[in-house]
Structure 1
């Protein structure tokens, strides 16, 4: 066993002889492989200073199974550690004796060279370790599923061209690893869906020709008929993605589509079916270990023409990749919560470059990061002309306090008189969507006398109410606060600060007697609804949970607009607009549909919604961030943890100068816990890669020295984007 030169331990900022003198490993009595007897292995090791490849001998009995990409176990110190073979070689740079591999867990090469290369790039970009990235990229092995898939592949290999059943036995599949099968002849499915976009058809022509175009796409609102004889509808964006995938398959390559949640996976799969695309694989972590690993293996062995999945699918091993699609850029579910915290947008962009695949980023709104891709010329904009946008968009009206000044006392209501009249009229034509920012009943309450926020006496979390007669309860620790009293004035009554979806449905039920009220939210009894009928009804939904209405909604009320744009988050404006446009896109176009934004929201996103112009808002935000040296105009790293540990990590970074370091600042938390601080390092984009490299080296020194405390490093943390 020896480490490869990636990196050399002696290069860790002057740290000499880490861990003391290395003892030569004991000689091995096993017979080694005749050809390429050295296996280079990436081990699943947590410490940052052990992030490198290691050399092991390949026993003769494992010579055929220990192929690059195979799962193995090897001796490291006193224990057996899991890992992957990444290469076989004839010799090793190590002067001493090598340890033999303990066993081959699976001979199936699940780690492809493309995914390994991507893992290394992601680790370097986010100051992480390759082992951390591989935990995200390759799902845990499921032995029964693996045996089933490999047995089926063996049967197909023996058949050598005979009809090969699909995994579910319902259809034939192409030979493993063969070129993807083109779309079914009869499944045209919206062939003109890209026509309204100025550069959309050119994007598709480049995909058909096997090229790698890159586009940032602002989709038009509205729905598409799933079939001429069926009343079902799918969002326009899903139809467009299906056509882009179909064109990619026609060019002889495969496609990967990443979306925020399972509902969007269903919509894309439905659209692909209408477009005549076969061999579509769903890859979602929430499906469970067996379905996820089966989908992973199908993708790995070329049994899927298109892979559609949530965040976990961004590392899917798709061979002959010709197009990567990211839908819903800006959704929090697309940001990985585990180290090294990569964002799907950046991972897919790196993958597009490395594998020569097309890149399509689409979203109802537009993030500043997507706008930055356009500004630096990395991608081209795909958008319809303003006249087409106006014709396809519903009418939008902002009911601000100024707009409602003539309404009198009714203007101060949560549902102003003007909004009530619009909803009542629209209900004669179909369902009405009501979007509210929060789920639950009263998720946030305050003292009824002095308006001080009500907090838990145990953990200081915010108190909320789960029902009209419920006892205040902490939304963090769940403790009841039946004896709560305000710390400021001693009052024992609370009032609503934030109103959730359930309380909104209750209020609307009283305001619209006899009208059905349906709730689509994670906390609702029926959960998140996928679709609703065209019958008159009030549909209360939280952002991202809006169901599709057959034929579109007659109107949409976007309540609590001021709440949506309140706070200090840098992405507050673009995120609010993203949620509003996503809801407005489900409303009927032109005079048949109307969208009302209720409340005094920030002027910039309000104006952008009225104009249906997310690109204009993103461009304005990007210009402001450039002036203020904020991401994405600069590269930012946040080091969070115990004060001494954070100080030690930052002090070893050469780029950490008084001009680039912000902080440390104390972070709010439980008073009973040790203090936590955050230090921010801000450098020009040209120094971003070097900053990540120096932080990786500093973390390696920290783990080698076994420094105490905790320290977490995040490159471009979500809260600063």
Structure 2
């Protein structure tokens, strides 16, 4: 085995005299071995036996022997010579001759690994689904003829919207846009028209959305517009056979558009002309497995390498999207301010001076009188959405006297109530606290600390006994809180109580919406608390009818908060400008590059000592996270981000080669940085 490099003047010899004859042409296969060890993150050379010469094509899956054990790998290249002048091991077996690792995908995976201080093997596990042998033998259908280019539709109401469609439909053009749809716009229809414009010119498209509900909505929009023969849906919810079948259709060119969640970002689409991501601020776009890439960055890297159009869209605008605009990398596509305000619902704040004079409890009440008034009026016209921050019944409790958080006496975690007739129990260890007493004041009575979606629905049901209650919730952690997500609701009056991301799509828009628990959302620890609150509010408010159609929204939060003011003005761009400016002053992403290191104290210290960090790097910590784990933050200017990732990757390689201690988790620009 040897690292691929300059050709040797001699052909390499087989590992023993009785070895099988090698291939007559290009007898060297350069193989990426699935090892996942940083110091072995490179291609190794193997001999190609003559019997395997036809099947051992670049991109094929193979089995090889490495350090005495068999491992999976991919052939990235066939060559005539190797720089290794000694003996080479032969390939053990060609698992599949299907060229699943294309040169474009290999280049993208290498770039992602370098960007996030990871290994190529880790990225390829995310990019290429496991093989399903029976499915691989099935022929894929022939590609359908390109569809006709659709009409612009609602794109015509966006500044530069029609020009974006024109550019996407023009071969060789690579426009880059940050897209903010008009309030009440059907984002899925707009994305479908963008995809269809690319397909009409014979160009491929990859679109990534946060979750399965968004995928289903975009899938339905595409089928209505151009039929079902031009795209596939890729997602983790598919079984292994069906997922691989659809992935092979893309690889073999049967379809040229792939939509779905995170895994779709790596879909091997031919003649790629468009990449797009919807709601890029959603943390579901951040991969929870090493090397923890964010799909927005993956798609932007892909657009750069393929010369494809790139569109970053969402009702709210992330600081990362704003940076693309400020650096000139992308241009805005959005409605003008007058049009946006015209189509937005009428948004009220519950704690302004007028409401406080009318209702002294307006700032502190979870459901102030304004919310009740808007709800009653809205129910005369159609369904009313009530957005709640937490699943469950009472997910957190407090002392009724001193308001101190109620904690478990066994482990110190928070107590919760899962049903109205139950006893408080620990959310971590499940201990029932039937004889609880406050550790601060000794009181034995509890009150609600945080109200969940089921308790909210119960209270509203008592207040509006004649109105149907529809509950749509996700994120439950107990059997009682099992996810029940409704996709759609009709135009009939109803109270729709939903957690974030589980809001059903109304057939004719919501008459009104209540956005509860805003203060707790804004006060959450974390760099992105305000940005995340505005993103969730704007997604919900976009489901409400326009002001001219009587649509109203009540946000229960401090009215002076920047996120609340941005919602009232429907100004995602202004909020993003402010957010990026503040992060620039504090040297936080995306204005700077940050690496989060987590592990045991001695392991983090060793990694930092081995890393040749840029001179301008700032190290914060290590600081303890728990009894065994510490966290260190390394911060550099954005221009030094590549050097930071390379130095940490090299240091991890040294530790891996030494077999030194336990591994340290390295995350570059984590979305949950606090």
TM tier, smaller: over 0.9
Change (3 A) 1:513 1:649: same
Among 248, 254, 269, which residue is 1:318 paired with?
269
Give RMSD over aligned pairs. Answer: 2.0
Deviation, 1:599, is 2.8
Tell me, yes or no, if the aligned pair for 2:394 and 2:450 is still in contact at 8 Å: yes
Whole-angstrom distance in 1 between the partners of 2:663 and 2:35: 18
Query: Which residue is equivalent to 2:113?
Result: 123
Q: Which moved more, 1:459-468 or 1:96-105?
A: 459-468
Query: Which residue is equivalent to 2:205?
Result: 255
SS at match of 1:269: helix
Among 497, 513, 520, which residue is 1:540 paired with?
497
Whole-angstrom distance in 2 between the partners of 1:478 and 1:68: 53
Query: Which residue is equivalent to 1:47?
Result: 37
Whole-angstrom distance in 2 between the partners of 1:104 and 1:354: 30
Tell me, yes or no, if the aligned pair for 1:323 and 1:359 is still in contact at 8 Å: yes
Among 297, 300, 304, which residue is 2:251 paired with?
300
Among 637, 644, 647, which residue is 1:691 paired with?
644
Among 177, 181, 203, which residue is 2:145 paired with?
181
Tell me, yes or no, if the aligned pair for 2:423 and 2:434 is still in contact at 8 Å: yes
Tell me, yes or no, if the aligned pair for 1:28 and 1:100 is still in contact at 8 Å: no
1:632 and 2:590 equivalent? yes
Deviation, 1:184, is 5.6
Query: Which residue is equivalent to 1:676?
Result: 629
Whole-angstrom distance in 1 between the partners of 2:384 and 2:42: 57
Deviation, 1:393, is 0.9
Deviation, 1:609, is 0.2
Query: Which residue is equivalent to 1:202?
Result: 163
Whole-angstrom distance in 2 between the partners of 1:658 and 1:266: 46
1:214 and 2:176 equivalent? yes
SS at match of 1:404: helix
Query: Which residue is equivalent to 2:621?
Result: 663
Tell me, yes or no, if the aligned pair for 1:562 and 1:601 is still in contact at 8 Å: no
Tell me, yes or no, if the aligned pair for 1:70 and 1:104 is still in contact at 8 Å: yes
Among 81, 86, 99, which residue is 1:91 paired with?
81
Deviation, 1:359, is 0.5
1:335 and 2:286 equivalent? yes
Tell me, yes or no, if the aligned pair for 2:5 and 2:82 is still in contact at 8 Å: no
Tell me, yes or no, if the aligned pair for 2:30 and 2:78 is still in contact at 8 Å: yes
Whole-angstrom distance in 1 between the partners of 2:534 and 2:145: 39
Whole-angstrom distance in 1 between the partners of 2:35 and 2:410: 37
Q: Which moved more, 1:474-483 or 1:101-110?
A: 474-483
Tell me, yes or no, if the aligned pair for 2:359 and 2:369 is still in contact at 8 Å: no
TM-score (norm 2): 0.94
Query: Which residue is equivalent to 1:531?
Result: 488
SS at match of 2:156: coil
Query: Which residue is equivalent to 1:617?
Result: 575
Query: Which residue is equivalent to 1:243?
Result: 193
SS at match of 1:195: helix
Whole-angstrom distance in 2 between the partners of 1:92 and 1:28: 21
SS at match of 1:29: coil
Change (3 A) 1:601 1:111: farther
Query: Which residue is equivalent to 1:445?
Result: 397
Query: Which residue is equivalent to 2:11?
Result: none
Query: Which residue is equivalent to 1:274?
Result: 224
SS at match of 1:275: helix
Q: Which runs of 5+ in 2 are unaligned?
A: 7-13
Change (3 A) 1:142 1:461: farther
1:312-461 → structure 2 map (5 Å cutoff): 312-400=263-351, 402-408=353-359, 411=362, 412-461=364-413
Q: Which runs of 5+ in 1 are unaligned?
A: 7-23, 154-165, 167-172, 175-179, 224-235
1:607 and 2:565 equivalent? yes
TM-score (norm 1): 0.88
SS at match of 1:40: strand
Whole-angstrom distance in 2 between the partners of 1:72 and 1:408: 71
SS at match of 1:64: coil
Whole-angstrom distance in 2 between the partners of 1:409 and 1:194: 45
Change (3 A) 1:491 1:345: same
Whole-angstrom distance in 2 between the partners of 1:195 and 1:709: 56
Query: Which residue is equivalent to 2:4?
Result: 4
Tell me, yes or no, if the aligned pair for 1:455 and 1:462 is still in contact at 8 Å: yes
Whole-angstrom distance in 2 between the partners of 1:25 and 1:32: 11
Whole-angstrom distance in 2 between the partners of 1:696 and 1:388: 49
Whole-angstrom distance in 2 between the partners of 1:601 and 1:648: 48
Whole-angstrom distance in 2 between the partners of 1:481 and 1:338: 36
Whole-angstrom distance in 2 between the partners of 1:4 and 1:500: 58
Whole-angstrom distance in 1 between the partners of 2:560 and 2:254: 49
SS at match of 1:662: strand
Deviation, 1:654, is 2.3
SS at match of 1:255: strand
Deviation, 1:447, is 2.3
Deviation, 1:221, is 1.9
Whole-angstrom distance in 2 between the partners of 1:694 and 1:410: 55
- Per-residue displacement from partner, 1:596-628 (whole Å, max 9, x unpaired)? 112326610011000001110000111111122
SS at match of 1:87: strand
1:473-552 → structure 2 map (5 Å cutoff): 473-522=425-474, 523=476, 527-552=484-509
Whole-angstrom distance in 2 between the partners of 1:344 and 1:361: 11
- Per-residue displacement from partner, 1:499-538 (whole Å, max 9, x unpaired)? 1111100000011121001011124667111100100000
Change (3 A) 1:403 1:342: farther
Change (3 A) 1:610 1:66: same
Q: How many residues align?
A: 659
- Per-residue displacement from partner, 1:526-571 (whole Å, max 9, x unpaired)? 7111100100000001111111111100001111111121123111
SS at match of 2:56: coil
